[in-house]
């Protein structure tokens, strides 16, 4: 890495409804991923190097994030010093203004740091809205932000899942199985059989929970990998 280049770890959040997921979509695809917009925001800072983000945690179409993370290298033109983290955050959010994406904070990290491989845990939350008679009855503030399930009385439940990593659709499948047991569509013994099968193809596809209620809530790192913020640089 050149001496005037810096590696940054950014934490960001988004509403996933209007995106193809967090990962970058190819140029021919009409609906873009969150990564497309983040990389474009970094390019608008006019770096001297090619920009490529490495996202820590994949989320699919319609899934939201209270906190996801990614790292990238940024080399400023004409030998200018690296940006302070707070300046970088403000500049990226300026260029992300039209989108439902916001960078919350950033850390300048060492050159070998990797956002995906050095994450020590990821926490997902699945939100369930109980008592919804019809999807049109969902409050506007909750539409596309939870799974509405018919029952008596409206209440919100949250299921929390924490692990170092997750398999494809694992949280949505676990949530779907729990709801299926509660609705009498699957027995507890049926869940046991699915776990013992150790085969994702054995899971009934129509029981997978929809993406609307799933949030990536946290991505955690060893504090020793995240040095204190720098305060003395400026964006110009």
pLDDT for the residue numbered 119 = 97
**Does 42 share its domain with 70?**
yes
As given in the structure block, the two tokens for residue 232 are 């003395």
Give the domain-ending residue among 62, 94, 117: 117
Indicate whether 36 belongs to any domain. Answer: yes
Report yes or no on 223 lying in a domain. no
H/E segment holding residue 147? strand 147-149
Give the phi and the psi of residue 86 in degrees, each rounded to 5. -65, -35
Separation between Cα atoms, residue 193 and residue 202, nearest integer Å: 9
**Are residues 135 and 80 both part of a single domain?**
no
Same domain for 180 and 134: yes
35 shares a domain with 65: yes
- Per the domain annotation, does 232 fall within a domain? no
Q: Tell me if 226 is assigned to some domain.
A: no
Same domain assignment for residues 60 and 24: yes
Residue 186, token pair as written in the block: 């699957």
> Which residues are marked as active site?
60
What are the phi and psi torsion angles at 45 (to 5°)? -80, 0
What pLDDT, on a 0 to 100 scale, did the predictor assign at position 235? 34
Sole residue written with tokens 């054995």 = 202
Residue ranges making up the domain that contains 76: 5-117
pTM for this predicted structure: 0.87
Q: How far apart are CA 224 and CA 84, in angstroms?
A: 19
Both 212 and 158 in one domain: the answer is yes
Q: Check residue 152 and give its pLDDT.
A: 53
- 142/88 same-domain check: no
In a domain? residue 231:
no
Eight-state DSSP code of residue 25: P
pLDDT tens track of the chain, all 236 residues?
Answer: 565 789 999 999 999 999 999 999 999 999 999 999 999 999 999 999 999 999 999 999 999 999 999 999 999 999 899 999 999 999 999 999 999 999 999 999 999 999 999 999 999 999 998 777 776 667 766 778 888 887 656 688 899 999 999 999 999 999 999 999 998 999 999 999 999 988 888 898 889 999 999 999 999 999 988 876 544 343 33
Total domains, the chain: 2
């Amino acid at each position: 890495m050149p001496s005037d280049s810096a590696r940054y770890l950014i934490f960001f959040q988004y509403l996933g409804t209007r995106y193809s997921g967090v990962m970058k979509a190819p140029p021919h695809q009409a609906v873009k991923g969150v990564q497309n917009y983040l990389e474009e925001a970094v390019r608008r800072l006019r770096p001297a190097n090619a920009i490529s983000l490495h996202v820590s945690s994949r989320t699919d179409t319609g899934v939201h994030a209270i906190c996801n993370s990614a790292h990238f290298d940024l080399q400023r033109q004409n030998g200018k010093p690296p940006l302070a983290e707070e300046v970088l955050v403000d500049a990226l959010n300026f260029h992300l203004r039209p989108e439902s994406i916001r960078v919350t904070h950033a850390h300048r990290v060492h050159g070998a740091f990797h956002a995906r491989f050095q994450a020590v845990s990821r926490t997902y939350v699945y939100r369930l809205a109980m008592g919804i008679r019809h999807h049109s009855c969902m409050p506007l503030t909750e539409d596309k932000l939870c799974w509405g399930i018919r029952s008596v009385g409206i209440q919100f439940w949250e299921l929390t899942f924490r692990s170092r990593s997750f398999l494809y659709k694992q949280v949505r499948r676990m949530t779907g199985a729990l709801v299926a047991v509660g609705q009498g569509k699957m027995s507890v013994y049926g869940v046991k059989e699915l776990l013992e099968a150790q085969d994702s193809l054995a899971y009934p596809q129509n029981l997978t929970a929809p993406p609307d209620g799933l949030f990536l809530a946290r991505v955690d790192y060893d504090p020793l990998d995240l040095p204190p913020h720098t305060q003395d640089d400026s964006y110009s």
